Amino acid sequence: MFYGLHEVPSENCEHLVKQLCDEKLSIDASAMIFDRVHRVGGESARKPRPIVANFHNYNERETIR
């Protein structure tokens, strides 16, 4: 789960997660494969909703953690 990422309408959550990994964590995420990436909760939230990312590869997930 990724918290605190700014939310905009019609965003690409997978792109946001990969961008975070590249810029903040200095991990090359261009080859990472995700099964599913989405926001949790309804759109009426007052603060940015967390993003859930389901990694295809266990080792990639552990690298991020």
- The answer to the question of residue 3 being in a domain is no
Overall domain count for the chain:
1
* pLDDT number for residue 15: 92
Domain enclosing residue 48, as ranges: 13-64
Cβ distance 64 to 52 under 8 Å?
Answer: no
pTM of the model: 0.82
**What does the alpha-carbon distance between residue 61 and residue 49 come to, in Å, rounded to a whole number?**
20
Other CB atoms within a 10 A radius of the CB of residue 17 amount to 21
- The answer to the question of residue 21 being in a domain is yes
Binning pLDDT at 50, 70 and 90, where does residue 9 land? confident
Per residue in 15-60, pLDDT (tens digit) is 999 999 999 999 988 889 999 999 998 877 688 899 999 999 998 8
- The answer to the question of residue 4 being in a domain is no
Cβ distance 36 to 55 under 8 Å?
Answer: no
Cβ distance 14 to 2 under 8 Å?
Answer: no
